[in-house]
Structure formats: structure tokens, C-alpha cells
Structure 1
Amino acid sequence: MGLFAQNETLNWYFGNNAAFNFKDGKIKVLENSAMNTPQGSASISDTNGNLLFYTNGETVWNKNHQIMENGDNLFGDKNNTQSTIIIPKPNSDLIYYVFSTKNQSTNSDGVQDPQAGLHYSEIEISNTYPLGKIINKNINLRRFTSERLTAVHHKDGKSIWLISVGKIDADATVDTFLNFKIDETGVSNAPISSTVEDFRSNKGQMKVSPDSKKIVVISFAFTVYVFDFDSETGIVKSNNIIGLKIDFGSGFGAFGVEFSQSSELLYISTAFFGGSFSYAILQHKMSEPLTGFDYPPIGKIIFQSSKYAPGSLQLAPNGKIYAALSENDSDGNLIPSSKIGVINNPEIVGEGANYAHDSQSVSPGFSSKGLPNFIQSYFASRIITENKCLVDEFSFSADSYSNITNIDWDFGDGTFANGINVKHIYSAPGNYNVKAILTVNNSKISIYKTVEVYSLPSLKSNQEIVECDDNMDGLSTFNLYTIKQKITNPSLDETLYFYENQTDLNNDNNRILNPENFNNSIPNQGIFVKVINQNGCFETTSFTVTARFVSLGTISDFYTCENSDGISGNQIGNFNGRAIATSIKNQLGISDRTSLKFYPSYIEAQTNTNELIGAFSSKTATIFVKAQEADFSCGGIQSFNVIVNPDPIINLQDTYSICFNPSLKPPVIISADASNDRYEWRNSQGSIISVSKDFILDTVGEFSLTAYKAENGLLCSNSKTFVVENPEKAIFTNIEVNTEDETNNIVTVSIEGNSTYEFSLDNVNFSGNSTMFTFNNVEAGLRTIYVRDINNCEELIFTEVAVIGFKEYFTPNDDGKNDYWNICGLNETSFRSINVRIFDRYGKLIHQITNFTSLGWDGTYNSEKLIANNYWFKADIIDKDNNLISKTGYFSLIRN
């Protein structure tokens, strides 16, 4: 929708030589700007929309884009968010005021900047000064201020409020609104003061709502302040806070803000801090409660980007909101952009607001962080109506910043009217540019709005649904929704309601509740339908439901293999619907102009529901084919059978076991089912290794059988994979070596397995018949133990064991018994060398045994008896085969 306010706002000058014109509601890029400003600017046009001048708060350029006479060195700062605003003197066609802001600062000597604060300059545009001249310059209003300025009309509709905010002096800890009334006498020297909380930042936009009821102040510190404003008294009252924190350390730092034209929706441009860094535009509905500092923040995110940073937001004459843009370069620095963003439908909540990112070019100019600043109530003038359907009556009214005394209407279709509230009916659908000339305070304000007259559904009459009749009684079951393809474009998003008579349709009573499964009560029954399009517009018509008896003839059966769907054993197969349709047409001599469709049941064929499309899956079942003529009428319904051939039988196990050495045993033979016609045995590489019915298992691995069987004219197959493996071999569970008796070394072996086993130390002579065996008189040294199952089927197992004994304790009390600790089972015949080191609990070496004749350790150190305690040893022993045997452990010294 296009919506245009009064002409003073039609020309925008901002950024780096960027400029727009909004005349007639069409945005036009201008290439004549002489201004380069990173942030704040303002421009103003006359009541006919002709540019008068523009400024960045430091310099003023006239309509010829030259610096205005005396138009430089204004006490503003173009780096301020809202460095300036232009306000025409009420009841004067000659005088304009340029207000400028500059933050207070001090030099190294502590001297304050004399140019800081809020100042205004007076411009005269007259026959004497046709291009304008500053006749009074840099008149101070307040010494301390923020970067924020906005303005709105007084409640009287004539005077204007200049709204400023900031610290009242250098020592102030809170912020204060100083609102200056501008009327026909000029700028008031007695501002209305309202003290509020500390905003904690001078940066960020401030806006008053077009209806002049709210003021919003942005603070970059995760906060948006909302105030009530009395446009009659100029008093500001604290209302609440919009908190933009996500959690304690992250949130949205706000910069720009703007109201929609109705003042009902608020938009905030932000940078997100915490985790990943990105930029966003938030939307808040002003009728919803504010959150204060609660988490999470309120508002819907309508735009988010890590590259483009939205800056100032500004409502435009067309009712849209524009967003100044900067973008991140490859080094992460913000640079000006050749495009800006636009919120196309700012009165719609959520995604419907339709933010179009970088959609509006400003080339050859560039956008940075600022857009021009205007009197906000200029945008309050608007046409109020809603789009409607053809033949529906439109209601037109308007709103403005002051009382409207008259409106002249041009409805855009060649008809006109006069009045505050008028009605109109359009004769054709389409878009119409409505113009309203408002009389406000004896001034004429021209505003526009594009309205859309929605078309009605276009319906064909005298149509019918023809369904098949199975008994020639003229009655059948119908899917009434199939009429859509006959009476309208079936691709359109339209809703259909059905009735059995015109009266019910007119009153919307007794809708047919099951239109997809409707049974007519009389032959050739008339049905009435209301069709509603996506805009809610409707049209009506009627049609006839007719039942026709048609016999197609007998259809032969169709077959498929059970595993044709890729799954064996589910009794379901795949059928090629296209091939079946071709075969049926050939069988029955049906024309190619007739389409055939398949359904699971007769009633579903009648109602055209649950069609089996293309290749369909089915168990053995009865299927119904429906012949549909070119006019969508029924050309007959006939049943036929689809039959799923069962899988060829395979009765094989998943796993077979053969001996480790199969040549020692009779061969293991498995057999395929004799009912099949052909066999293919394959190895794990997929190579066919046999085509016989029987298969000998003589090696381990993965194998498969594919069996083939011819049935009903089809050769079907079935496959199964199986594994051939050796028996699980036994495992050693425990080996105990006892060398306490120096004349008889004993080794006891325990195993776990699925058979009975024999044991050997030389792999030649085996003994035993169990899972445990004890060897006696075992020669000391590193020995190998062999174990085999008595059936000679499992794999032989073996392990090595060191036949060496380590005492767990000794008692050196000179009684001739167990007085020494040593390693048992060692001698010079079986071993080459020995090195046993004994340590106390602190790791101190206290004894060493290096020869085979040593009695061992007697419990002393440097001839002193050591206390009873635990001691540690490390033994390195080399046998006759040069095998190293290393042992570590501990033992106890016990004294009585």
C-alpha cells in the first residue's frame, strides 16, 4: 500500500551525497546532493513538495545545492545521531528554524567547548533572499544535551514542540527533557522541564510517535526508554522500559527507532552482543506490556545479519520505514553501503512487515548510519480504509495531527466525493490510487493510499460430475470436490462449500458435511456451491451430479515377485501402474484419450480418493480401475486381481560350524529346497562357486544362496546369506605354578570350552580328559602348554608359563625353617642368569641376589635386623633359550 503525508517531507538528503524524492508515491533517486554526513541530517520542502534546503547541523545547502548565505559554521556535529532538525515558523511562509546539537566536551585545560549544547539558527526565504539566508545564528537554548532531537505538533495543531534531552549541567546524574514550544511568536525561552532517569548514553535515536502520545529514547546499553507525552502541556512522564538483554552478559544494543504511521508498532535497530555478533531489527507491539529489565527481551526479530548493520530508522511519506545501512568489509570494519533497507508493511505484525534488506539503491550516493530527521506528526496524516471484494462497499476516513475540518476525495476511478467519512463501491477489480485533500488548520494536506479491489472467483455454470453407477438406478457416490477442475482454475487457493438447494446456500445453512463422499438422493441431482478465494471473496454457481452405468469387461490378472519391493517375507510386491494401464487398454480396446486410474476399493474409485499412482505396492488383492473420459466423466469401473508370487523357499540356517581341519572329518553338506528350479551358490566376493542343489562346507567365510522359481510366467528369486565358521576355541582361565617342593615343580591348568580336552607339554604326548589338568615334575624354565579337544575338531591352543616360585612370606627367627626369602625353582641347569633386587617400602635397595647358590635374603641390612613389614622385589631371569622372564611383586617379613 502506498501512503503519502504532506509535502514538506518529500525530499530526503542524507549520507554521502544520497538523496530521494517521494513525489506521487514513487521513490526516485536524486544525484544532486552536495552533502556528506556520516549520521545526522535534515531537509525540508515547501507545501508543493519543492526542495527548500537541507543541512547536517554544521552547514546549510540551498535548493541549488550551494552553501546558503551565512550557512556555514553552525554549532552542530554531523557525527551526532540526530544532529539537526528543521521546523518552519507557524503562520509564516518566510521563516524556518534549524536546530543543531553538539555534545559537551572539555579540552586538556578543562575548558568546556563553547559551541556545545543545543542551538538554533533562523533562516529567511523571501523575495529578498530567494535562496535563503541565515539571519540569526547559533542562538543557545541549553549548554548540555545529548545527540537526540525530535519534534511534533502541539495539540492545537499549529504550534510545534521541539523535544530535547540530556544532562542539565556538568554535575547532573540524571537526564532532563527540555521541550521548547515554537509558535507564531518564535522559539520560546521558557522550556518545559521534565527530569527522568539516567540514560547512560548520549547515543541513539529519540522519536515521538506520530500521534504525539509516546516518546521513545534509545540507550545503547541494552535499553529502550518509553515515556508518555502530553502534547498540550509538553510534560514528559516516565512510563516503562523495554529491556533488550538475553541474559546477564548478552543482549541487543539499540541505536535506531521508529514508529509505524498508526503509532501502534515500534521498530528498533540493534547490534547483538554475546556469543556470535550480529545485527538485527526488532518489532514491538505498543499495546503489549513492557518488560522492564526482565529477560528475555520482548519483540520479534524481523531481520538479522552478520554483515549489514542497520542504523537510523525513519518513517517515510509512503508509510514505509527505511533503515540506513553500513556493511562490514573483509577486515570487519563498517563502511558505507550503496543500498538501504525498507520495512514495506510496518503496520503488520511479524514477518508480514516484509523487511526487504538492501533493496533500495542510493547510488551514486552512499548510506552510513543516518537518515534525515523530520517533525514526526507530519506522518500522522493518513487515509483509513481496508481492501475489499468487488461489489463490497468501501468506507473511507482519515487521520491527522490536528482536527480535520474537510476532506475532498478522489477514488482513483474517475469518481469524487466530499466529507469526513464517505463510502464508495468500485465497479471493477484492481488497484486504485485514492487521493484525499485534508483541511487541517485552514491548510490543505494531500495524502494518498493505494487500495486493492479484490476480484471474485470466476466460475463456469452448467457443469456436471458424471460417476459410474453399478446397478443402473441413477444413484452413486460422488466426490463433490472434483467439480473444482470444471468450474474454476484448480490451481487457485480457493475453498468450496456445497449445499443441496439455493436457500441453504444463501443463508449458509445445512452445508453438505461429507462432500468427498456424497450420495445423491435422486438421479441428476442439482448441487449448489460457494467458492471463496484467498482474499475472502466469493461467488456461487450450481452443477449436476449424474450416475452412468458402463461395463468395461473382464481384465486378466497381473503378477509380480514377492521381493520386487526390495523386502523379502512381507508378502508385498511392486506393480507398474503405467504398464498395467497399457495392458488393460489393449485388452479392452480403450482409446488413448481415456485415462485409467487405480484405486484400492470400488467406493474410492467412485469418489476419486486414495488413487494408486505410478508404481504402487500391494499384497495379493483386488484392485479397481476407473476409466475417466476427457471431460472427467466416469467411463466405467472394473475390478482385477494383482497377485504376488511367493518367494522361492530357502531353508538355511544363519550359521554353520565345521572343524578347524575339515579333512579329518566327514564332509558337511547342506541342501537347497527341491521345489526351486535353479540354484546359485556364491562366496563373499559374489562369485558363483556352485549351481548344484547340494553344497559342501569345506572352508569358513560368508556365503549366499540364490534360488530361482518360475511361476505365473515370472522367474522369481530369493536370496539368503549364511556364515560358515569353526567351533569356538577353548581359552585358558587359570595356570598355577607351585615350586615350594624343590624336588617336584607342579603346574595346574584350567580352561573354558565347549568340549573335553587333553593336555601336553611337548605337543606330542597328551593326557587328561577334562577342562583341568595337573603336570608334575615339570622342569623349571619357560614351558609351553598345549591343549586340544578329544574330538580333534577345535583349533589347538597353547601358552607359555614360567615355572618359577616366589615365596609370599618368610620368618627369619633362626629355627631352621623358612629363614630365607628367595625365588624357587631356579638352577644353573635351566637358567643362564638371575638378578633379584629387594626394596623397602620407600624404594631403597636393601638386598640383591645374583647367583643360583645363594640361600636368599635373611631379613637384615648392614647386619641389622629389619622390622616386620612388606617388601618389594624385581626379578630379571634369563633361561637357557635366552628368554627374559621379568617378575615384580611383594612379600612379607614376619617376626614372632
Structure 2
Amino acid sequence: MQKNYFLILLLCLCSYSTIYSQGETSNWYFGQGAGVRFTNNGSITPLTNGKLNTVEGCTSISDADGNLLAYTDGITVYNKNHQIVQNGNGLYGDPSSTQSAIMVPKPEDPNIYYIFTVDTSVNDNDPDYGLNYSVLDISMNGGNGAIVQKNVNLLQDSSEKITGVIKDCFDKSIWVITLAAENGSPDFFNTYHCFEVNTSGVNTNAVRNTFANLNIGDPRGYLKLSSDGKKMVSANVSDGVYIYDFEPETGTLSNQLQLTVPGYENQAYGVEFSTEGRFLYLNTFTNENVSQSLLLQYDLNAPDISGSVVIIDQRAAYRGALQMAENGKIYRANPNSYTEGIPFLSVINKPSEKGLAVNYVHNAVSLAGNNVMQGLPPFIQSFFNKTDLIRNPDGTSSATLEICEGDSFILEADNIPGAIYEWEKDGNPIANPNNYFLDISNASLNEAGKYSLKITSADPKVCPILGESAIIVNPAPPNGTLTIVQCDIDNDNSTDGITTINLEQAYIYETNSRDFTFTFYENAANLASNTPITNTIGYINTTPLNQTIYYKATSTKWCDSEGIVEISILPTTVSINPQSPFYACDNNANDSQELGTFDLEMIKLLNYPNLEATFYTSLADASLEQNAVSGILTTASTNLYVRLENSNECQGVDEIALIVNSTPILSFPELHYLCTDGNDLVLNAPDGYDVYKWIKVENGIETIISNSTFIAINEIGNYQLELGYEYITNGGTMVCENSTNFEVKPSNIANIETIEIKDLSDENTIEIFTSGDGDYEFSIDGINFQESPKFENLLPGFVTVYVQDKNGCGVKDEKIAIIGYPKFFTPNGDGAHDNWQIIGVDDMFQPNSLITIYDRYGTLVANISPKNSGWNGNFNGQPLPASDYWFKVNLEDGRIFKGHFALKR
């Protein structure tokens, strides 16, 4: 493997170097439940346990080891367990304030943090509380913290921006800076107020830096210091971008310079410096509605700073923050609008490079579905006070180094006479006899992590020099000898030692193909000239039986290794497996294909217990190990080829036959009826099958009740008929069966419960009421049947009604009488209509009914009985004249009715 040496030069920092480790910035919480964590190796992972929901302002703080302590939107403070700290509500920040808050540790007191907040007013009813601070004691409540002092006012009114930097490494003071009016009143902003935080607390008497030619009315946008405290930038959306020189010892600003922002996307919001302070980055936007955004780089060492601007990125996006991270990269927020965030952060990977060499990647970091809005958490900029420690061969530098396993690197600082060098890796001391440089040869994966160096000068007046670098060690690909043992199973000649080969089946390649890319070369010269084999699947060896080729393995991180592939070709004859063929039944007898299901895993287990058996549908696929079939295979009758291997070495090829036998096509009615008051139900199965099974199904239990072609059933219920073909196989016999379910329901002859007769009218009707298990139809002539039990418009007289079971269980009949009377009669002796009598009564039907007849004057002229022929028209032996006569009938069933009729002569 090629050895790469990297020089990581730790330059002497100014006397105001940070006294803090970068662990304080390890955890960020922002936006709508979004967050990220930076690890020792420089990588970044999303956090989804945050409680913030803020469109802009936010901040967080961790301890020196990177353990979360607290975070806030400037209003509510959450602890490491994402609970609101005691008294942690109602701070005077604002979610619409650009930098709503910043957390500042109290020098020499690990438990006290000052939370500085800047308010803003978004409408007439929203007061602006200006600049305040609250005190968080992280040791209270078992380490969960409490706000012990809240909203101490420093300025009546201020801008919505704030930043901080270390004043001096000896007295350990910190400057906290904001922009406001000179006297802190609600007015145009022209003064930067620098408040000192020291071991005594917050000095409320600020150092004021007033600029007569500064008149800021739109103070939206970020305020940032360079990590060494020497430069400051102030972005003020529509009122411009200003840069200053800053003197940390005195808190004074000088040399105000307004930058020119190009294009119409000229409203600056997010700002950040590269780690060494040479380059300044702006994140600009167009307006409050549909917006375009620019990411700009300025070279602060250039004679014309505004003229040095480079557009790093341009796209449709809204305003957003820029924030340095402990890995030396700058992260960018780019929501779609004021209220619509996105679940990604973008990143400037090499902010100390010039121009497009910064390697900007848009939407590079996933936030696991949570959205970043406009704000990212600001920190004391001194946390990032380091020059990029990785010196690249081209003279540039960066904060993170990625190498491959087995590479070497050197970490080196200035060799200062009399200085003490203290090395650490991931916070653990390293014994290094070389003092000012650390030489790591043949790096293993364990060499990855964060390296730190503290140089203490022999001169007690000089601040310690501190530095860190993140080393990422990527796994190296395998570099052992790959082997391929291939069976020569060509159709033309299986003994010549020349065959097609799938190089991608080489041992090691197969087990590492997801992590590494393998390229194969026919000889060492082709490897040297990078002329690879193009047909890695289907390669034909050029040397019979044994051949050596070469490979290069490359990881996704561009780590590579080289090695050889030993190819061995075994002359092979395809054998027929003695257990073949294997049989299955057609899955669906009713479709047009005969497809059976075969368990290849079971075939493998029973027939190839000590070999790696893989099934293929063609000999070519078996040779190249492509398109393997496995598991449960549904197919028509076919042949398969079984490639047999041991430790990825071909041992031979078998051929097996898969035969699909026909399954009976079964047609049988799903419903049958048993006459419960008659004989057994006899059912006959279709002819032409080898196996018959009649099955009773009850409560999910199946019981075979007959193996005959027919069955007599005397119980209702659920049944199954199963028919099968019997086949002779190489292992005995098999049966392919098909079944159908059917139900036997009860039926019987009807019981006529009653017949409702509506007679003695012009529209006589009857309706038959029955009971029973059958399905019945009705008739009054025994021939023509109907579904309805009701018959209408019937003539009077005697009628037989019939009730028939549709399921063949019999017919029930009953004779009834429909009572009526003739409208006239002609007693002239011609044998037609000679007597008048009630119809539907006789000596069998209501024989004791009483019938009386009257003339028009009410004189009783006759009494007749249903038992005789009726009235002949005479009274006292003499014929009565033609006329209307009246009658009264007292039926035996209790009914009484009256009417009249005509006597005609």
C-alpha cells in the first residue's frame, strides 16, 4: 500500500488563545426539534431528542468532554435530560431574534453559566426588553440545573445580535458584545457595547465603541468575531455588512469597513470566519418572499476585500445562519422560507481554502426528518481559536484529515526551546518522547480520533499554545490472494481447461463486494497501466487449467490495495442426480398452465448435506454463477443445474429434473339438501379418479367418512370431496389431489299451518301459511306453481291447494271452499240454473249452515240447507214471479252475510 505522509503543523497562536477545549460546542440544538452532535473523529450525527421550536435564535453548551449541559431558544432553558430547568421559563429572548441568546461560562467556576439574551419587537404590542442576562447554576437539582438569577437588564434596547470571545488567557475574562444605541435607548444603532465577564461576574459598565458614520435601522443578521478575537463582522440585512479590527485586551473596535455585496441577493444574514481568520463567509438572500440566496467568500488579506468576493453557491433559498463547528467545517442553514424549514444542513468542508476549493456540499447532513430554520447556535468564538493544523502537500491547511488504514501521518508543532509539550488523544494523555511532533506509522483503525497538544512556554508571560486535529482512518480493502476454482462445464469441451468465469465470485471479493470496488487485470502490465478486464462476468481464461491475474480493491473513501487472483479450472462432466426427478403437483388445475412448487432448500438439505449447492436454470448461469434460484420455486416441468462448491471452490455440477404432475379438475355442486323426513341423501362423485375421499368437517376437524365413489348422507353440515390421481415415482407413489367443499342443508315437506280465505266478494283471494325447513312453491291446480303463497280473483267453489318443496322432499295438498252465490237462476226445467244455492258449502263443508230467502216485501219464501240442491223458485207449491229476491246466510263458522239475486222466467 502506498504510504502518505501528512504534516500537521500547530502554529503558535497569539497570546489570547482559547483556554477551553472544543467539547463545549459538541452538541447543537436548533430549528424544529433538530440537532447534531460532533464526535472526536470529526464526523457528525443527527439528534432527534431536542425540544426547541424556533425560527431563529438558539444556543447550547456542553462540557469540555462534549457532554450536553443545556440549550435554549432565549426564552426556555432545557437541561441535559431535555427537561426545563428549575425557574427556566420566561427569559427575555425571542424566537424571532437572530441570535436570541449565547451561553458564557463564568471563569474559574465550572457550575455557573451566564445566559445573555437579546430581545426584538415583532409588532406594536410586543415589548423589546433589550439586553439581559440570567444565571444558570448547572450543579443544582442533582446536576439538572436551575436559573438562580433572571433577566438582569444591561441595555434598555439592543439589536438582535450578540457574540463573545476570550479577553485574556491569564485573567480568563470573556467579552460579550452587542450592537445598540450609544445610551442603550430605542434609537438607531451606532455603538458596540462590550461587557466583560470575569471571575467576579458580569461587569455592567460596558466598553462603548461608537461610530459616528454608523446608523443601523435594520439590525437583523449575525454578529461574529474571528476565533482569535482580532476581527469582527456585523451583518445588518438591508443596512449593510461591516467589518472591524478588535483589540481583545481593551475591548475596542477600529477600522470600520463596509463590504460591497454583489448582485441583487445582497441582504446579508449569516456570517462566519474561517478558523485562522483569513476568509469571511456571508449567507445572503433577496427578500422576505420568494428568495434567492448566495454563499460568498471574502479574502480579508486582499488589498481590495470587497473585490476579492467569490460566489461559492447560488440557488433558490431563504436566509440562514453560518456556524463554525469543532471539526473546522462551517455549516449552513438554508430554509425554503421564514416558516418552512428543510431537514438538511449544508457544509463548507475546507473553509481555509480559497474560492471553489472550499468543497461546498449542499444538503450534506441529514437531520433525520427534523427541520433547520434560519438559526444555528452561536458560541464563544474562542472555542474555535486554532489555526488549521493539517498542512497539505500543496501548502494549504485543513482541520480534518482522512487517511487509509496503513497510511502514516505526522503531527508537528514549532520546536520551542524549553517548552513543555503535552499530547492527548480523545482526552487521554499520550507519552511522546519526540515532544514537538508525533509520528504515527502504519496507522490502524484505532488511530482515528481527536488529537490535542498543549505547549507551555518557558516564559510564564506567554499564553499556552493549544491545538487539535481530527484524524479519520478509513478501513483498507483486503489485499490477500483471491482464489477461483471453476468447473469446466462448457457445452463444447469440458476437458480443455478453458471456460467462462465470473471473476466477481472470487473469494474475498464476494464477501466484501458491498464495501469495496474490485477491478481485475489480466497481467501486471495491465495493472500498472490501469487497463482492466472489461468482461468480469464471462471472462475466458487464456491459460488452460491454471492462470494468475491481478486485482485492485478500492473503498468508497478511495483507499486501495492490490493482489493476485489464482484461477484453477477443473474438467467437469455434468452428472444426473440419482434422486432425480423430483415431483410436485399442479398448483391450480383450473388454469391453463401446469405449475408446481418445489422446496429447493429441502432438496439441498436432503441431497447435498455437506456441500454448498446452488440451483440455476441454465448451464451458462451455473458456470457464471448468475441468476441463481433458491427457496420455494414455482415452475413448470423443467431441468435445473446444481453447482456444488466447498469454500467457494467448484466441486461439480448436477442436473436434476423437476416434474409437475396433473391435479384433478374438480366440478361438484356446493349445496345439497337432505329431506329430514325422508330417505338418506345419496351423492355420486365424478368418475375417472384413483382416490376418493368423502370428509365430514365439524368444528374445524376433518373426518373421512367414505372412500367410495358415492355416499349416503343422513346428517346436515359441512362436507368435503377430495379426488386424486396416483403417480408412480422413483421413490414409490404420490397422489395429486384436489378438493371442494359442499354443504348439506335440511329440507322437508311443508306443514300447512292455515289458509286465509277472503271470499263472498267480487275479488276472492286465498293466502297459504306454511312451516318447515324446505323452500316452497304454491299451486291451485297441481301443475302451475308460483313463488307467492297468495292467489287472487278466484271463482267461488271447491279448490285443492298444493305446496311443493323445491328441493324434492314432496308435495302437501289441502281442499278448501271459496264461498259465493249465483247472481240469478232460471227455474224453467231445462236442466240449467234450475235451482239457486250457496256455492262452496255442501254436506261436507259447513253442512249445518242456515240459508233463508225473502221476497222484496220481506216475506220468507224458502229455507234451504247446504245438504240439498237449493231453492226451485216455488212457494207453497206455486211458482213465484220473476223478480229480485233477498237472502241471509248463517254459516256454520259463525259468519253471517246477506245479498240478493234475480229469478228469471
Higher RCO structure (Cα 8 Å, ≥6 apart): 2
Distance (Å, rounded) in 2 between the aligned partners of 1:192 and 1:179: 5
Is residue 76 from structure 1 mapped to residue 97 from structure 2 by the alignment? no
Indicate which of 556, 561, 564 corresponds to 1:542: 564
CA gap 1:676/1:209 in 2 versus in 1, 3 angstroms = same
Distance (Å, rounded) in 1 between the aligned partners of 2:115 and 2:106: 16
Is residue 484 from structure 1 mapped to residue 507 from structure 2 by the alignment? yes
Kindly state the Cα deviation for residue 519 of structure 1 after the two structures are TM-superposed. Answer: 3.1
Is residue 707 from structure 1 mapped to residue 723 from structure 2 by the alignment? yes
Distance (Å, rounded) in 2 between the aligned partners of 1:29 and 1:667: 83
- Scaled by the length of structure 1, the TM-score of the pair is 0.50
Indicate which of 384, 387, 391 corresponds to 2:402: 387
Is residue 7 from structure 1 mapped to residue 18 from structure 2 by the alignment? yes
Unmatched 5+ stretches in structure 1: 66-70, 107-111, 126-130, 167-173, 197-204, 245-253, 268-282, 285-289, 304-313, 320-345, 358-368, 399-407, 586-591, 730-738, 750-754, 804-879, 883-896
Amino acid at match of 2:624: T
Is residue 628 from structure 1 mapped to residue 634 from structure 2 by the alignment? no
Distance (Å, rounded) in 2 between the aligned partners of 1:104 and 1:150: 19
Kindly state the Cα deviation for residue 575 of structure 1 after the two structures are TM-superposed. Answer: 4.1
Alignment of 1:314-325 (within 5 A): none
Partner of 2:342: 299
Alignment of 1:622-661 (within 5 A): 622-629=639-646, 631-647=647-663, 649=664, 651-655=666-670
Kindly state the Cα deviation for residue 159 of structure 1 after the two structures are TM-superposed. Answer: 5.0
Work out whether residues 707 and 719 of structure 1, in 8 Å CA contact, stay in contact via their aligned partners in 2: yes
Partner of 2:755: none
Alignment of 1:309-348 (within 5 A): none
Amino acid at match of 2:205: K
Amino acid at match of 2:402: N
Distance (Å, rounded) in 2 between the aligned partners of 1:459 and 1:704: 65
Q: Secondary structure at the match of 1:504?
A: helix
Amino acid at match of 1:516: I
CA gap 1:371/1:652 in 2 versus in 1, 3 angstroms = closer
Indicate which of 676, 690, 694 corresponds to 1:676: 690
Q: Secondary structure at the match of 1:503?
A: helix
Distance (Å, rounded) in 1 between the aligned partners of 2:360 and 2:411: 18
Partner of 1:374: 380
Amino acid at match of 2:539: F
CA gap 1:454/1:436 in 2 versus in 1, 3 angstroms = same
Unmatched 5+ stretches in structure 2: 1-7, 30-59, 71-79, 92-100, 117-131, 140-148, 262-267, 274-278, 353-358, 389-396, 414-420, 456-461, 749-757, 768-774, 820-891, 895-905
Partner of 2:494: 471
Work out whether residues 756 and 770 of structure 1, in 8 Å CA contact, stay in contact via their aligned partners in 2: no
Distance (Å, rounded) in 2 between the aligned partners of 1:613 and 1:636: 18
Work out whether residues 758 and 789 of structure 1, in 8 Å CA contact, stay in contact via their aligned partners in 2: no
Q: Secondary structure at the match of 1:209?
A: strand
Q: Secondary structure at the match of 2:506?
A: helix
Kindly state the Cα deviation for residue 571 of structure 1 after the two structures are TM-superposed. Answer: 3.3
- Scaled by the length of structure 2, the TM-score of the pair is 0.50
Is residue 608 from structure 1 mapped to residue 634 from structure 2 by the alignment? no
Distance (Å, rounded) in 2 between the aligned partners of 1:225 and 1:542: 52
Work out whether residues 213 and 231 of structure 1, in 8 Å CA contact, stay in contact via their aligned partners in 2: no
CA gap 1:374/1:497 in 2 versus in 1, 3 angstroms = same
Partner of 1:694: 710
Kindly state the Cα deviation for residue 209 of structure 1 after the two structures are TM-superposed. Answer: 1.9
CA gap 1:80/1:347 in 2 versus in 1, 3 angstroms = farther
Work out whether residues 302 and 351 of structure 1, in 8 Å CA contact, stay in contact via their aligned partners in 2: yes
Amino acid at match of 1:602: L
Kindly state the Cα deviation for residue 378 of structure 1 after the two structures are TM-superposed. Answer: 5.1
Q: Secondary structure at the match of 2:527?
A: helix
Q: Secondary structure at the match of 1:475?
A: coil
Work out whether residues 9 and 374 of structure 1, in 8 Å CA contact, stay in contact via their aligned partners in 2: no
Aligned residue pair count: 629
CA gap 1:97/1:223 in 2 versus in 1, 3 angstroms = farther
Work out whether residues 406 and 476 of structure 2, in 8 Å CA contact, stay in contact via their aligned partners in 1: no
Alignment of 1:737-886 (within 5 A): 744-745=762-763, 759-760=779-780, 766=782, 775-777=792-794
Distance (Å, rounded) in 1 between the aligned partners of 2:497 and 2:343: 59
Residue by residue, what CA displacement relative to the aligned partner does 1:499-532 show, whole Å, maximum 9, x if unpaired? 333333333335232x333333441343332222
Partner of 1:509: 531
Residue by residue, what CA displacement relative to the aligned partner does 1:617-646 show, whole Å, maximum 9, x if unpaired? 4443333333324x5333322323333343
Partner of 1:500: 522
CA gap 1:7/1:593 in 2 versus in 1, 3 angstroms = same
Q: Secondary structure at the match of 1:387?
A: strand
Work out whether residues 405 and 474 of structure 2, in 8 Å CA contact, stay in contact via their aligned partners in 1: yes
Distance (Å, rounded) in 2 between the aligned partners of 1:756 and 1:146: 93
Partner of 1:532: 554
Q: Secondary structure at the match of 1:605?
A: helix
Work out whether residues 97 and 120 of structure 1, in 8 Å CA contact, stay in contact via their aligned partners in 2: no
CA gap 1:776/1:257 in 2 versus in 1, 3 angstroms = same
Work out whether residues 468 and 637 of structure 1, in 8 Å CA contact, stay in contact via their aligned partners in 2: no
Amino acid at match of 2:271: V
Amino acid at match of 1:720: S
CA gap 1:576/1:86 in 2 versus in 1, 3 angstroms = closer
Distance (Å, rounded) in 2 between the aligned partners of 1:84 and 1:683: 82
Alignment of 1:186-205 (within 5 A): 187=252
Partner of 2:740: 721
CA gap 1:722/1:42 in 2 versus in 1, 3 angstroms = closer
Kindly state the Cα deviation for residue 538 of structure 1 after the two structures are TM-superposed. Answer: 2.3
CA gap 1:558/1:124 in 2 versus in 1, 3 angstroms = closer
Kindly state the Cα deviation for residue 792 of structure 1 after the two structures are TM-superposed. Answer: 6.9
Kindly state the Cα deviation for residue 676 of structure 1 after the two structures are TM-superposed. Answer: 0.6
Q: Secondary structure at the match of 1:535?
A: coil
Alignment of 1:421-440 (within 5 A): 427-430=442-445, 431=447
Partner of 1:214: 282
Q: Percent identity between the aligned chains? A: 13
Distance (Å, rounded) in 2 between the aligned partners of 1:643 and 1:354: 55
CA gap 1:533/1:881 in 2 versus in 1, 3 angstroms = farther
CA gap 1:42/1:558 in 2 versus in 1, 3 angstroms = closer
Distance (Å, rounded) in 2 between the aligned partners of 1:231 and 1:132: 39
Distance (Å, rounded) in 1 between the aligned partners of 2:290 and 2:326: 25
Distance (Å, rounded) in 1 between the aligned partners of 2:498 and 2:537: 15
Kindly state the Cα deviation for residue 60 of structure 1 after the two structures are TM-superposed. Answer: 11
CA gap 1:510/1:28 in 2 versus in 1, 3 angstroms = closer
Work out whether residues 243 and 297 of structure 1, in 8 Å CA contact, stay in contact via their aligned partners in 2: no
Work out whether residues 756 and 769 of structure 1, in 8 Å CA contact, stay in contact via their aligned partners in 2: no
Kindly state the Cα deviation for residue 674 of structure 1 after the two structures are TM-superposed. Answer: 4.1
CA gap 1:703/1:386 in 2 versus in 1, 3 angstroms = same
Residue by residue, what CA displacement relative to the aligned partner does 1:136-163 show, whole Å, maximum 9, x if unpaired? 82567799999989644589x9754474
Alignment of 1:79-90 (within 5 A): 85-86=163-164
Bigger-Rg structure (1/2): 2
Work out whether residues 674 and 681 of structure 2, in 8 Å CA contact, stay in contact via their aligned partners in 1: no
Amino acid at match of 2:559: C
Amino acid at match of 1:721: T
Alignment of 1:134-283 (within 5 A): 137-138=205-206, 151-153=223-225, 160-161=231-232, 163=234, 182-183=246-247, 187=252, 208-210=271-273, 211-214=279-282, 258=323, 266=331, 283=333
Distance (Å, rounded) in 1 between the aligned partners of 2:739 and 2:441: 76
Work out whether residues 264 and 347 of structure 1, in 8 Å CA contact, stay in contact via their aligned partners in 2: no
